[in-house]
Amino acid sequence: EAGVTQSPTHLIKTRGQQATLRCSPISGHTSVYWYQQALGLGLQFLLWYDEGEERNRGNFPPRFSGRQFPNYSSELNVNALELEDSALYLCASRIGLGHYEQYFGPGTRLTVT
């Protein structure tokens, strides 16, 4: 069974630009979570999508947004990039109702210069 995949592996952007990150969940999983992990720090919850809808968002500004597609893949968009947006962005998927376990992708390393 293929795991969660993310693309690209690395992304370098300039301050003020936009970044788009992509995530494909494990086959059969309907929920996707996005996390930001700054260097050496913890997992900060960004967004949760389930069945195509945004279910919850963390304490991040509106320039962080995303969507979930009918095939349950997801994309995270970050507008007006700031230097402090440099981090590892992790996607995790969950199978759905009745299950809590989240399975992580390898992450996208975003560097803003």
Partner 1 sequence: GENVEQHPSTLSVQEGDSAVIKCTYSDSASNYFPWYKQELGKRPQLIIDIRSNVGEKKDQRIAVTLNKTAKHFSLHITETQPEDSAVYFCAASGSNYQLIWGAGTKLIIKP
CB of 76 to partner 1, least distance (A): 16
Binding of partner 1 by 99 (CB under 8 A): yes
- Considering the complex, state which of residue 60 and residue 103 has its C-beta at the smaller distance from partner 1: 103
Binding of partner 1 by 55 (CB under 8 A): yes
CB of 38 to partner 1, least distance (A): 12
**Residue in 21, 29, 31, 36 binding partner 1, rule: CB under 8 A:** 31
Q: CB of 113 within 8 A of CB of 11?
A: no
DSSP state of 27: T
What proportions of the chain, in percent to the nearest 5, are helix, strand and coil? Answer: 5, 50, 45
Name, in order, each residue with C-beta under 8 angstroms of 24's C-beta and a sequence gap of 6 or more: 4, 5, 6, 73, 105
Contacting positions for partner 1 (CB under 8 A): 31, 33, 41-43, 45, 48, 55-56, 90, 94, 97, 99-107
